[in-house]
Every structure is written in C-alpha cells, then in structure tokens.
C-alpha cells in the first residue's frame, strides 16, 4: 500500500510507468524499482529458493541477497529490488514448476530434505548405473537458476572503457564522499563509484540523511570529484585494477589509490523460520518506507543487535506500522527465537516462548563491514569477538579503508550464532538453502574447515557471493567445533564481487583479421576467403581448383603471397648470423641471388622455411612461411641477444605485398608490364633483381614456388592493387587468372614441396623430412640445432617423408593412418588429385625402411586398407626444366 506523499521519497508520482509481471499489468512510478513496485502492488512471493524451492521475498532491498531474482526482458537472475522500472518491461518469476505461489518442486522441501543432505549428489543417483541418463536429465532440469536461450544472441551493445585516476573511491556514502573530497582538495583526480542509484549510501535511508547526502555530493562535485552511480565495482585486482559496471559499459579503472568505503552488509540472525517471507533486514524496511512510500506491513517486530534495527523501527512507526516489540540484543540475549508462518509468509515470532503476531519481522544480526573487496586486494581480515564482525587489520599499499568498511560500526551486540532450540532448520545460506543442520552434518562427515565446507555444502557459493552467509557460517562452524572464529578463518575472497553478465566481461566482439592489400581484389574476383592463421586468404576463385592449377601449367597465374613473412637482416655480420641460425650456408650467397632455407630449433626440429636473398654485401632479405613471420623475427632477435652480432632486423611483412606470377607465359606477361630484361640472362633462375613493374620499384625473386617459370614480385603494399590490376589487364589475352591456396597446394604437391606444419610436425627433423642436403656441417660456426640434427643421423632414421601415388584412385584423408602389418605406422600429410598428372598423389610419413622407390604401404580409408606406391622426388617436371625455362 502506498503512503501519502512523503518528504524525501524517491518516486515521481507524476510519472507513472507500466510493466507486466507474470502477464499481469503493474503500475509503478519513475523512481520505483521493479521490486518496490511489485511490493506496493501486493506481491510478496518473489522467487523460489535454489534447492528446496521455498518461497522467498524481499529481504535486503539493496541488491545484496538473491531472494528477489527474476527474469526481466529475457535476462535471468535480475535482482529486482535494485532494478529501476522501465516502461513495458516483461518480468517473470523463475525456478518453479506450476506457479510462483504454488511450486510443484517444493516437494523437495517437504519430502526430499532427509534425502538431500550436503553432498547428496556424491552418494545418490549412482545405482543402477543404467539409470544415470535418466537421473542426469532430471538433475540438469532441476539445477540452475533461470533459463537462457541457447540460441539467443546479445541484443544490446556493450562497451569497455579504460580510465586512469589518482584515486578511486568505492562507495559513495558519507565516508566515501568525505574521503573523495579530501583527496580532491589535495589536487588529485578522484572518481567515486556507488552501486546505488545515486551516491549517499546509508544516508539516503531517511529524509534528513538524504539532504545531507545531497550536500556532500555537491561539495564533492564542486571540488572536481566525478561521481558514477549506479556503478558496481566487480573486483579489485593487482595494481589497483578495478573493473566497474556502469550499465552496459565496463569501465576498467587503474587507480593510484583505491579507497574502500563500501559500508556494511547487514547480517541476518540465525533462528528457525528466518527465511520466511516478511523476515527482512533493516535497510529493506527503511527503503520501503522512505524511498518508495510503501507501508510494508500492519504489525512489525524488530530484533536487533545494533542501531540499524532501531532506525528501521522508527521508519516503520512513521509509516503507521504497529511495532509492538523492539528487542535490542545489546540489552541481553534471549536464548530462543522462532518465527512462525503460513504459506511461507511470517505470521508471528516467539521470543523465549512469548509469541507476538506480526506480518513483518526485522532482524539485524550485526553490521558486518563490507570487506570483500579489501580481502580481494590482499588485506588481512580478522574477527573481532567483542563485536561479532570481521574487520580489516592490514591493508596493502595503495589501498585505504574508511568508515564502516574499516570497522567503524559502533559497538553492536554479538548475537549467539544460533538462536533457537527447535530443530536445526535455521538458514545460514539463503542462496544455496544451507542450514545449521547441514553445516553440522558436513563437520560430522569430516569437512571440518570452512574452505572444505564451502566446497562440500556450497555455503557462500551462491549469487550473494557470501555477503549474507560468510560471517554466520564461520560463527556456526566455530560454535559447533568449540573454537573461536579466528581459528576457523575466512574463505578466500574472489571476484566477481557481484554477479556480472558474461557479455559485459566479453566486451565488444572483435576479430583482428589481417588482410593483404589485395583482399578486396580477391573478393571482387569471386575469391572464397578462408582463415590461414590470422590472415584472410582466397581458397580459390572458381568451383574447380584443379582448373586454376591447370591454368598455371598452361598459361599464367597470379597468386597473392603477401602473407609470407619478410625480414630484413642487415649489418656487417648479417651473413655470419644467418649461417649460425640456419642449417645451410648463406654467407657465400652472391649478391642478387636467392637460396632456400629451413630453420631448425634447438632440438633440431623443423620450425620454418623460406628463401633468403642477398641484396648487397650486408643486406639479406628473408622470407618465412605466412604463420612464421612473427615467430622467426622473434627467433632472430632472441638469438642475437645471445650472440651480440653486428646485425639488425626489420620486420617488413606488412610493408611489402608479394605476387607470384607463374606459368609458361609468365615471362611474356612481365615483359608487357616492365622495361626490364626478364630473359634467362636478365633474371635467371634463383636470381633476386630490382626491377620496375608498372612503374613500381619491385624486388623480383625468380623461384620455383609452384613448379613453373615464375617471378615473385615484392613491392610496397599500398601499390599492390595497381600492379595486380596491371598484370590482369596486360595478360588478359595470355589467359592470366588468379589462383588461390587450394590450387597452390596441388601445384606444390606435384613438385613434392614440403609445407612446414602441414607435412611436418613438432617432431620432424631435416633427415626424416628428406632434406639432408640442407645440412652444412662444415660451417666454421655451430648452428642452432646442429647437435640434435647430428644425433638423428647418428642413431639412424626411423621415419621418412615420402611421396606416394594412389594406384586405385582412392583419395585418403590428410591425417589418415598408414598401416603396416595391421598396425598404425605413420600418416598421410598431404593428398590431392592432380589434373595435370591425372593421378592421386600425396606425401606421407612412413617407416624408414619403406621409403624406397617401388615400395608400397597401406592407408586405411573408411575402414578398408588401400595400397599406395612410394614415389621419391617430384611428381611433375623432376628435372626442373620448366622452372629454368
């Protein structure tokens, strides 16, 4: 029931808002939360508890507990007590079968209790084994809170923002604002974050305090303090890193100093019936009355260990609620408290056997300083037995605590850990439905430390993150074990401080794809793009990749190889450096010539390959595989940090585009776009020559990339489209056409070229990859991997990479098993059908003894062994005549 307009109320009665709850229209006002509006409309059952499906209602009204979680506009587990109303919102209850008021699953509370003690899932639903799928289906259906649409996509935008500040104050109550003002006055850049709709904290609970809070905010802002509210600090990490949720914005604060002014977390008392609807914490009663002008009950009882309960009693009285009993535990502790109820709603309370009827019971256990973030930061937290609370005692550098969070909470009473004799169904953990009986059971089972109890019973692991149960569970454990609370200790505080949507943490979806400067030309030409490492590259341009390969054999093809790594190695010792880092020799490479190279790691394993061109006496131009660009650059840099040679490296991968022009008509095409001499005399096989192509300074490498006459053109990336267009334009009558990665695979396989990481793995070495000719052991320096490579040669070869032909035409899968004598003995690494050869050809790793011309082995395809014939050397143009044409 709404009260008449009150001073300081937070609702705007001139601004009505309508939303639906369970399909029913609810009237509210701007300033209401969904929870307050529902309460004003008479709704008392807000949710069902996780395990026993007990009815639960508003308990804290500050977002600390999880008793009011609902599904709002499709988002589950929204705490409606702090969620502002929005016009047209669709609000639904969750975690019930039937209706919120009559949940069929409550049978677990009535009947299942004895069968569902802590850890029951380890002990039951085990036999018969065959029934497990049924059990699993049932358990999965019963578990969890709320429902997610597995096919749903986020339909709202999130952003992530980084902020660096001198001081971040977490908590905008009186202490927080005062601390912010002090820091700002000293000239520091200060931001205050507060989880409430506006800063003010506990001051906002009554009209006079709200006025004071307003004045504090104004003073702080005038001093330059930035106040963010509602804004929730999710955690406190190393180096004062604090992610803060501000709506759909995740602000990552990095602060010189973090001031924790998070106030208190009101604690429940532990007694039978303490989870009945209508048993609330003091701030809930104050906010219902003072924020939203609601008369929350007709008759209320207050049992309190501190002044907060008295303030609640005062607020209730001001709203016309009859408060027949205010029990201040500081005046003496009653041995027995028990709440009674009907249909889950409180109807009375018995204190030492004396009953008082009521429809609201305010309980205030103790004002626990909100030390969660401090504990996350590494602060030491100790129990103060005189006040029954945990307080921070030792703070890390750069962390401050002020106000109630620092322990300034007065002198509350220390209520008994368990108040009540009847039974043990006093709830300690409301989220996980853990009672005093459950905790005692866990101790009896041997889980006698609080960390073990947490894992076994799940106490403190629910969505309230232990706010309402951490202190009480430790105190119950201490009482049950007969030791003090400091001996029991606390559980480890971990982020997040409060549940946070995964979508917010994930941030904005970003996919940093690398694209060559010809990317859009490929798309324009119909290229089907695929991922190769971080790059987007064309798989092929036509439906039949074999035809693209054939065009290279018979006309001329263009392939974009800009993704190749390109590293400049420059300096007086550049040649000597390459001799040390490669197995083969480069110091004797003549200026203007190119040589193939394979890199090995310390253990002699093949790590990358590419070409090395000598541009002048001190300058080498190294290409690597597309995925090896960064790794090889780092490898060079790392080794030179060891050797201190007079050589520098420049990463040029992105700077230069590379286009391979290949095919019997390649020379004719080059002559149409350049005045340079592309004859065998002008640019011989394995030459590296500076030329001008379509007006662009270009380094042309004549290499056998795909087995045909070819020129690999390296030129500035921004000019790549121009050169590509020129080649396509001038070569139209020559049949020039682009070819993608798939036809490239066919062409390279025809030549028996090894593709590092495709035909090699982390165990491959030069000898067993059939490249012993790379190894130059007569160099005067040790080279990286020499010893290990020599060890392979000395011990004898076990495996060999060989070519094979499939005589039956069956195409095995890459990775398919090589089978010898019925046992797995190797694998297929590459296989394709070659139109040019009209054969299925491939490479495979086989036992060394099978690597002989005329040898055979089986490959299993769809469960059937098929014979493959070993082929040593290139399948196509074995003499390399076409390369040298």
Q: Which of 393, 457, 408 is nearest to 429 (CA)?
A: 457
Of 142 and 615, which CB lies nearer to another protein in the complex structure? 615
Check: CB of residue 19 under 8 Å from CB of residue 37. yes
Least CB distance to another protein at residue 268 (A): 40
Of 343 and 520, which CB lies nearer to another protein in the complex structure? 520
Of 97 and 722, which CB lies nearer to another protein in the complex structure? 722
Out of 140, 157, 342, 795, point to the residue binding another protein (CB under 8 A): 157
How many angstroms separate the CA atoms of 600 and 740, rounded?
29
Of 654 and 874, which CB lies nearer to another protein in the complex structure? 654
Least CB distance to another protein at residue 670 (A): 12
Of 305 and 691, which CB lies nearer to another protein in the complex structure? 691
Least CB distance to another protein at residue 167 (A): 15
Of 146 and 224, which CB lies nearer to another protein in the complex structure? 224
Least CB distance to another protein at residue 512 (A): 5
Which of 30-38, 132-140, 158-166, 803-811 is the region at the interface with another protein (rule: CB under 8 A)?
158-166
How many angstroms separate the CA atoms of 769 and 622, rounded?
22
CA 497 from centre of chain:
17
Tokens coding 614: 């000598």
Of 253 and 477, which CB lies nearer to another protein in the complex structure? 253
Site string for another protein, 223-252 (x = CB under 8 A): -----------------------------x
Of 188 and 252, which CB lies nearer to another protein in the complex structure? 252
Site string for another protein, 605-624 (x = CB under 8 A): ----------xx--x-----
Of 110 and 157, which CB lies nearer to another protein in the complex structure? 157
Three-point CA angle 555, 559, 561, nearest 5°: 150
Which of 476-484, 601-609, 718-726, 769-777 is the region at the interface with another protein (rule: CB under 8 A)?
718-726
Least CB distance to another protein at residue 690 (A): 6
Counting contacts by CB under 8 A, is residue 164 touching another protein? yes
Least CB distance to another protein at residue 713 (A): 9
Residue 66 DSSP symbol:
S
- Residue 710, helix vs strand vs coil: strand
Residue 391 burial class via C-beta count within 10 angstroms: exposed 0-12, middle 13-18, buried 19 and up = buried
Of 674 and 834, which CB lies nearer to another protein in the complex structure? 674
How many angstroms separate the CA atoms of 142 and 491, rounded?
28
Of 77 and 563, which CB lies nearer to another protein in the complex structure? 563
- Residue 135, helix vs strand vs coil: helix
Contact set for another protein, span 33-92 (CB under 8 A):
none
Of 61 and 723, which CB lies nearer to another protein in the complex structure? 723
Helix axes 450-457, 470-481, angle to 10 degrees: 120
Of 17 and 167, which CB lies nearer to another protein in the complex structure? 167
Least CB distance to another protein at residue 615 (A): 4
Q: Which of 634, 568, 506 is nearest to 250 (CA)?
A: 506
CA 400 from centre of chain:
30
Check: CB of residue 336 under 8 Å from CB of residue 415. no
Residue carrying the six token digits 């982390």 = 762
Phi-psi region of 694 (alpha: psi -120 to 50; beta: other; left: phi over 0): left
Of 535 and 586, which CB lies nearer to another protein in the complex structure? 535
How many angstroms separate the CA atoms of 354 and 667, rounded?
107
How many angstroms separate the CA atoms of 37 and 85, rounded?
8
Contact set for another protein, span 531-570 (CB under 8 A):
535, 562, 568, 570
**For 482-544, where are the alpha helices, taking DSSP H only?**
485-488, 502-506, 519-524
Of 253 and 383, which CB lies nearer to another protein in the complex structure? 253
- Residue 830, helix vs strand vs coil: strand
Which of 59-67, 86-94, 154-162, 780-788 is the region at the interface with another protein (rule: CB under 8 A)?
154-162
Which of 83-91, 118-126, 160-168, 498-506 is the region at the interface with another protein (rule: CB under 8 A)?
160-168
Out of 374, 699, 703, 802, point to the residue binding another protein (CB under 8 A): 699
Residue 510 burial class via C-beta count within 10 angstroms: exposed 0-12, middle 13-18, buried 19 and up = exposed
Which of 187-195, 320-328, 346-354, 720-728 is the region at the interface with another protein (rule: CB under 8 A)?
720-728
Out of 696, 741, 756, 844, point to the residue binding another protein (CB under 8 A): 696
Least CB distance to another protein at residue 63 (A): 27
Of 52 and 649, which CB lies nearer to another protein in the complex structure? 649
Which of 159-167, 352-360, 573-581, 660-668 is the region at the interface with another protein (rule: CB under 8 A)?
159-167
Check: CB of residue 286 under 8 Å from CB of residue 203. no
DSSP 595-635: EEEEEE-TTSBEEEEEEEEEEETTEEEEEE-TTTHHHHHHH
Least CB distance to another protein at residue 877 (A): 30
Out of 335, 385, 695, 807, point to the residue binding another protein (CB under 8 A): 695
Least CB distance to another protein at residue 608 (A): 19
- Residue 819, helix vs strand vs coil: strand
Out of 124, 697, 808, 856, point to the residue binding another protein (CB under 8 A): 697
Counting contacts by CB under 8 A, is residue 154 touching another protein? no
Provide the β-strand partners of residue 827: 817, 845
Counting contacts by CB under 8 A, is residue 526 touching another protein? no
Residues that bind another protein (rule: CB under 8 A) add up to a total of 56
How many angstroms separate the CA atoms of 443 and 798, rounded?
59
Q: Which of 577, 572, 612, 642 is nearest to 774 (CA)?
A: 612
Contact set for another protein, span 479-518 (CB under 8 A):
508, 510-517
Out of 102, 422, 520, 798, point to the residue binding another protein (CB under 8 A): 520
Phi, psi (degrees; rounded to nearest 5) at 537: -140, 155
Provide the β-strand partners of residue 355: 350
Least CB distance to another protein at residue 498 (A): 23
Out of 589, 715, 756, 846, point to the residue binding another protein (CB under 8 A): 715
> How many helices (H) and strands (E) would you count in the chain?
22, 47
Site string for another protein, 637-676 (x = CB under 8 A): -----------x-xxxxxxx----------------xxx-
Site string for another protein, 721-740 (x = CB under 8 A): xxx--x--------------
Three-point CA angle 715, 720, 722, nearest 5°: 120
For strands 12-21 and 24-30, give the pairing: antiparallel
Q: What is the 3-state secondary structure (H, E, C) of 344-409?
A: CEEEEEEECCEEEECCEEEEECCEEECCHHHHHCCCEEEEECCCCEEEEEECCCCEEECHHHHCCC
Of 699 and 709, which CB lies nearer to another protein in the complex structure? 699
Least CB distance to another protein at residue 721 (A): 6
C-alpha dist (Å) from residue 824 to 404, 846, 872: 69, 10, 22
Binding site for another protein (CB under 8 A): 157, 159-164, 252, 254, 508, 510-517, 519-520, 535, 562, 568, 570, 615-616, 619, 648, 650-656, 673-675, 690, 692, 694-699, 714-719, 721-723, 726
């Amino acid at each position: 029931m709404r009260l008449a307009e009150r001073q300081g109320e937070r609702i705007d009665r001139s601004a009505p808002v309508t939303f639906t709850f369970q399909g029913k229209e609810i009237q509210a006002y701007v300033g209401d939360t969904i929870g307050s509006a529902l309460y004003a409309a008479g709704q008392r059952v807000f949710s069902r508890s996780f395990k026993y499906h007990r009815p639960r209602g508003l308990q804290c009204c500050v977002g600390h507990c999880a008793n009011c979680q609902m599904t709002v506009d499709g988002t589950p587990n929204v705490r409606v007590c702090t969620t502002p109303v929005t016009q047209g919102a669709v609000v639904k209850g969750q975690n019930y079968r039937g209706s919120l008021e009559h949940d069929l699953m409550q049978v677990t509370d009535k009947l299942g209790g004895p069968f569902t003690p802590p850890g029951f899932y380890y002990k039951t639903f085990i036999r018969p084994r065959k029934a497990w799928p049924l059990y699993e289906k049932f358990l999965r259906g019963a578990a969890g809170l709320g429902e997610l649409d597995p096919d749903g996509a986020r339909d709202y935008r999130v952003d992530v923002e980084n902020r660096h500040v001198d001081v971040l104050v977490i908590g905008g109550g009186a202490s927080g604002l005062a601390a912010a003002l002090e820091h700002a006055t000293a000239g520091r850049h200060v931001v205050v974050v507060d989880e409430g709709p506006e800063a003010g904290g506990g001051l906002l609970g009554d009209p006079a305090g709200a006025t004071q809070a307003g004045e504090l905010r104004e003073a702080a802002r005038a001093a330059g303090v930035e106040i963010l509210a509602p804004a929730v600090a999710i955690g406190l990490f190393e180096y004062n890193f604090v992610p803060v949720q501000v709506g759909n914005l995740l602000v990552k604060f990095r602060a010189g100093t973090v001031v924790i002014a998070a106030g208190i977390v009101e604690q429940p008392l532990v007694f039978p019936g303490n989870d009945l609807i209508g048993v609330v914490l003091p701030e809930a009663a104050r906010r219902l009355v003072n924020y939203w002008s609601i008369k929350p009950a007709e008759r209320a009882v207050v049992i309190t260990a501190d002044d907060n309960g008295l303030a609640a009693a005062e607020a209730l009285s001001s709203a016309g609620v009859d408060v027949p009993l205010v029990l201040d535990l500081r005046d003496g502790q009653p041995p027995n408290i028990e709440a009674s109820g009907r249909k889950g709603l409180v109807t009375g309370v018995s204190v030492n056997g004396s009953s008082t009827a009521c429809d609201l019971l305010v309980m205030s256990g103790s004002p626990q300083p909100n030390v969660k973030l401090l504990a996350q930061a590494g602060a030491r937290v100790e129990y103060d037995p005189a006040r029954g609370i945990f307080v921070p005692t030792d703070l890390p550098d750069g962390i401050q605590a002020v106000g109630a969070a620092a322990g300034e909470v007065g002198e509350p009473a220390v209520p008994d850990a368990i108040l009540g004799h009847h039974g043990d169904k006093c709830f300690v953990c409301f989220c996980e439905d853990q009672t005093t009986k459950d905790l005692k059971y866990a101790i009896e089972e041997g889980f006698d430390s609080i960390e073990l109890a947490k894992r076994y019973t799940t106490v403190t692991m629910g969505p309230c993150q232990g706010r309402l149960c951490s202190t009480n569970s430790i105190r119950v454990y201490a009482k049950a074990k007969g030791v003090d609370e400091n001996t029991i200790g606390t559980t480890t505080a971990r982020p997040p401080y409060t549940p946070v949507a995964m979508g917010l943490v994930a941030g904005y979806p970003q996919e940093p794809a690398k694209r060559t400067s010809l990317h859009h030309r490929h798309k324009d030409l119909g290229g089907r793009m695929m991922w190769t490492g971080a790059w987007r590259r064309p798989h092929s341009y036509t439906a039949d990749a074999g035809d693209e390969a054939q065009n290279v054999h018979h006309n001329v093809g263009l392939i974009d190889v800009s993704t190749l790594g390109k590293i400049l190695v420059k300096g007086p010792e550049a040649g000597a450096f390459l001799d040390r880092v490669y197995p083969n020799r480069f110091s004797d490479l003549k200026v203007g010539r190119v040589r193939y190279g394979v890199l090995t790691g310390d253990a002699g394993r093949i790590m990358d390959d590419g070409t090395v061109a000598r541009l002048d006496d001190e300058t080498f131009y190294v290409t690597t595989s597309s995925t090896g660009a960064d790794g090889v650059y780092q490898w060079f840099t790392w080794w030179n940090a060891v050797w201190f040679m007079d050589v520098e490296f420049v990463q040029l991968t992105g700077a230069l585009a590379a286009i391979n022009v290949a095919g019997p008509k390649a020379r004719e095409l080059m002559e149409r776009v350049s005045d340079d001499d592309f004859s065998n005399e002008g640019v011989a096989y394995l030459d590296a020559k500076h030329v001008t192509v379509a007006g662009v300074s270009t380094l042309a490498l004549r290499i056998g990339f795909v087995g045909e006459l070819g020129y690999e053109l390296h030129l500035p990336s921004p000019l790549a489209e121009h050169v590509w267009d020129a080649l396509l334009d001038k070569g139209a009558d020559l049949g020039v056409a682009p070819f993608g990665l798939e036809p490239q695979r066919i062409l390279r396989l025809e030549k028996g070229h090894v593709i590092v990481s495709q035909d090699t793995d982390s165990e491959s070495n030069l000898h067993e990859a059939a490249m012993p000719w790379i190894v130059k052991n007569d160099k005067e320096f040790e080279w990286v991997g020499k010893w290990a490579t020599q060890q392979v040669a000395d011990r004898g070869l076990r495996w060999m990479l060989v070519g094979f032909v499939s005589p039956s035409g069956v195409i095995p899968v890459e990775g398919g098993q090589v089978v010898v004598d019925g046992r797995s003995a190797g694998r297929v690494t590459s296989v394709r059908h070659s139109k040019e050869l009209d054969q299925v050809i491939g490479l495979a790793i086989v036992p060394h003894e099978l690597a002989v011309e005329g040898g055979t082995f089986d490959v299993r395809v769809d469960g059937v062994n098929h014979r493959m014939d070993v082929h040593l050397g290139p399948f196509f143009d074995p003499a390399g005549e076409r390369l040298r044409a």
